[in-house]
Amino acid sequence: MPRVVVFDETGGPEVLHVVEEPGSEPAAGEVRVRIEAFAVNPLDRMVRAGQSPRPVRLPHARLGIEGTGVVDALGPGVTGLAVGDPVILSALPDFETRGAYAEYTTVPASRVVARPAGLDVVGAAALWVAYFTAYAALVEKAGMRPGDHVLITAASGGVGRAAIQVANQLGAVPLAVTRQTAKRDELLAAGAAAVIATDHEDVAESTRRHTGGAGADVVLDAVMGPGLAELSLAAKLGGDLVTVGWQDPRPASFPANPSLTIHRYMAFADMVEPAITGRVAAFLSAGVRTGALRPAVDRVFGLDDVVEAHRYSDRGPSAGKVVVRV
Ligand SMILES: NC(=O)c1ccc[n+]([C@@H]2O[C@H](COP(=O)([O-])OP(=O)(O)OC[C@H]3O[C@@H](n4cnc5c(N)ncnc54)[C@H](OP(=O)(O)O)[C@@H]3O)[C@@H](O)[C@H]2O)c1
Tens of pLDDT, residues 126-178 = 999 999 999 999 999 999 999 999 999 999 999 999 999 999 999 999 999 99
**Atom 20, ligand 1: residue with shortest CA distance:** 157
Q: Which residues pair with 37 in a beta bridge?
A: 68, 325
Count of domains forming the chain: 2
| Res 256: pLDDT | 74
Examine residue 104 and state whether it is found in any structural domain, yes or no.
yes
Residues of the chain whose pLDDT is less than 70?
A: 254
| Res 156: pLDDT | 96
Q: Do 146 and 113 sit in the same domain of this protein?
A: no
| Res 288: pLDDT | 97
Closest among 287, 296, 281 to 167, alpha carbons compared? 287
Beta strands in 124-229 (DSSP E): 149-152, 173-178, 194-197, 216-221
**Ligand 1 midpoint to CA 247 (Å):** 6
Tens of pLDDT, residues 213-245 = 999 999 999 999 999 999 999 999 999 999 999
**Ligand 1 midpoint to CA 220 (Å):** 11
Examine residue 286 and state whether it is found in any structural domain, yes or no.
no
Q: Do 256 and 300 sit in the same domain of this protein?
A: no
**Atom 22, ligand 1: residue with shortest CA distance:** 157
| Res 134: pLDDT | 98
Examine residue 273 and state whether it is found in any structural domain, yes or no.
no
Q: Do 31 and 123 sit in the same domain of this protein?
A: yes
Q: Do 115 and 29 sit in the same domain of this protein?
A: yes
Q: Do 79 and 173 sit in the same domain of this protein?
A: no
Pocket test for ligand 1, best of 54, 66, 159 (most atoms within 8 A of CB): 159
Examine residue 47 and state whether it is found in any structural domain, yes or no.
yes
268, 286, 315 — which closes off a domain?
A: 268
| Res 172: pLDDT | 98
Residues 6 or more apart in contact with residue 105 via CB below 8 angstroms: 32, 33, 35, 67, 89, 92, 98, 99
- Per the structure, the complete domain to which residue 18 belongs is given by 3-127+295-325
Pocket of ligand 1 (CB under 6 A): 41-43, 129-130, 133, 154, 156-160, 178-180, 183, 222-223, 244-248, 265-267, 317
Examine residue 73 and state whether it is found in any structural domain, yes or no.
yes
| Res 99: pLDDT | 96
Q: What is the CATH number of the domain that holds 32?
A: 3.90.180.10
Other CB atoms within a 10 A radius of the CB of residue 236 amount to: 21
Q: What percent of the chain has pLDDT over 70?
A: 100
